[in-house]
Amino acid sequence: MANINANLTDSVQPKKGRLYAVIQYVDSGKRKSVWRSLGLPEGSPKTKIQKAMRAVVNDFEDAMAESSKTNTCPITELPIFDFMCGYLERVQPDLQINTYRGYRVMVYGRIKRYFGAHSDITVGNITANDIRAFYDYLTKSELAGATIIHFHSLLHRAFSQAFKDEIIDANPFDRVDRPKKTKYRGEYYSEEELVKLLDLARDDTIYPAIVLAGGLGLRRSEALGVRWSRIDFEKRQYFSIRRSSNISKTAKESSSLYLR
């Protein structure tokens, strides 16, 4: 890690109205540079730029440190966490910054926690039972089914790349069923709870949205998407447009709600 810091320099550069961190480092005696999006437009406040730079540079240093640990043995002998660190660094240039950050949380969070304690499981010997055990661990951690699907998709994609690179003969994640989404069960406020919420939020900037959502039963996106043009003050009606889930993605259905 000390060698990496000693040979690493960074600067901020604009490109097509967006800001990027340009990181220069030495690899095998050669000077190289990489561009990483800061997720900020030109003209952003200096404090925001500095904070984004620190995050991007720290991520790069962590990835370089993990990569240096894994370059001394065949990929098939790498523990799963080390392999995923390398994969994450490889695909980062092709990812949106928020997507990368989400993947990084997954890799350095649950994947590191579980497979770090099972370092004997490697790229070359991971089995379907190992994968199911990991999914069981995620389920016992009370993660939602949709979240577990994200882990499955990330790991499946990484091992698909290893298969394309002819590192492994088959993708072991093809041997397990894709996790299922947990059926959503909504919870509702009682009248007393809603009155208390409105009282507590009265001075909040989103109070109007809370009133609309609570009084008309609107979804969050509907409450935030209210337009004056959809309110008929004479008939005291609000016209809500909802996307239909059982037709096409472009089809929408409308409904009207009466304002008291």
Max CA pair span of the chain: 76
**Tens digit of each residue's pLDDT (9 = 90 or more) over 135-190:** 999 999 989 889 999 999 999 999 999 999 889 999 999 999 999 877 766 677 88
Instruction: Read off φ and ψ for residue 100, nearest 5 degrees.
Output: -60, -45
Q: In this predicted structure, what is the pLDDT of residue 194?
A: 87
Does the pLDDT at position 134 exceed 90?
yes
**Quick one: what percent of the chain has pLDDT higher than 90?**
43
Return mean pLDDT, the chain: 82
Q: What gap in Å lies between CA 93 and CA 88, rounded to an integer? A: 10
Q: Which class is 73-185 in CATH?
A: mainly alpha
22 vs 237, residue with greater confidence: 22
Does the pLDDT at position 223 exceed 80?
no
Q: In this predicted structure, what is the pLDDT of residue 233?
A: 72
**Quick one: what percent of the chain has pLDDT higher than 70?**
81
Q: In this predicted structure, what is the pLDDT of residue 87?
A: 93
Where do the structural domains in the chain lie, given as residue ranges? 1-70, 73-185, 191-258
Q: In this predicted structure, what is the pLDDT of residue 27?
A: 67
Contacts of 108 (CB under 8 A, 6+ apart): 62
Q: What gap in Å lies between CA 169 and CA 150, rounded to an integer? A: 24
* Distances, alpha carbon 148 to alpha carbons 46, 138, 139, 170, in Å: 38, 7, 8, 22
